[in-house]
Structure 1
Amino acid sequence: MPVRRQLDSRFESTDTDVVLVEGLYREFGVPLLRHVRKATGNDLQWAEDVVQETLVRAWRNAGRLHREPGLLWAWLLTVARRIVIDGRRRRGARPQEVEPPDANAVPVPDGSDRAIEAMIVADALRELSPEHREVIEHTYLRDRTINEAAEILGIPPGTVKSRLYYGIRALRKVLKERGVAS
């Protein structure tokens, strides 16, 4: 007897909803779980919950279900897909729950790292040529544009760009020698 007829006769001959759901689980449980795992990003626990909820809904709607295997499979897939979509919406609507941090374990920034880094960079700047150092000071440290730095220093903007490029390269080399920069 073909599988389709076996399913048709098995589901039609059952009068109780429990037997229907057991038959659904036996016939469709594994492929439904495989399908739902893909939809849940391979989250096995969530996929198992979705399959269980799908079969609970099948049990609740047992009287209204069509007993043909193709229609049952389509119904199960539709219900499972909607459960996954609802789960994603719920997760997106609520902030993720986290435990409050231990007050003694929370680091308090004291600024010492930043101060040490500033001292190292200032010391490294002293090793650059005066031309490179003044261009870096005007552009990075005083937050001036290339044109503003060129006007203040009395040199063309192209020269500022060139000195800035080579000055930054030299600064990186000095910091790398000191083991500060990569």
Structure 2
Amino acid sequence: MDETSTAVAATLSIRCTTQRFKIHSLAAFYAAGATIWIVNTTMLEPKYCEVDYVNHTSYKYAFFERDYNKSGTKHKEILAGMYTRMDSATFNGMRVFQRNAPSFSSYEKLLSEYGNYACGVFNVTLLPPSTGTYYDMRVKDSAVENPHASCLKKFEELSRGEYITNLFNNSCRKSR
């Protein structure tokens, strides 16, 4: 099954009286082989050229590498995300932890997706509790040059009043 078919199959729609609700699947966004750029963030200490390389997935986990530049130094984290239900009937979030670490480092929730999982708006909560919450706009490599306009609009809507940092530019691809 290709990435598009997986994304379509993983999206559930529920019809409720006159409104239609769409439930987003983080498993469809973090598909095996995906390269996902964190393009915009409200994180107070930004990590430039931040990118997730999804190496492998299972029904319960996504295994990925997160690379970024912070204070002029390149960093690489080997991470796993355990899919979880966050106010939803499907797995729309994940608890992220460093491989072989004893505890989770964050909760990452997919709030909205656009362009068949090419762009998504995430809410990230750092752990231990109360160490920070912020929004990310994450975009698949194939769409990073021209992210879905509705995705950007939703990100700006949710992060209104917060400082937004653009993490991606064309030189990011060259530095991988």
Same fold (TM over 0.5): no
Higher normalized strand content (fraction of residues)? 2
TMscore range, shorter length? under 0.3
Higher normalized helix content (fraction of residues)? 1
TM norm structure 2: 0.25
Max Rg structure:
1
TM norm structure 1: 0.25
Q: Relative contact order, CA 8 A, sep 6+: which one is greater?
A: 2
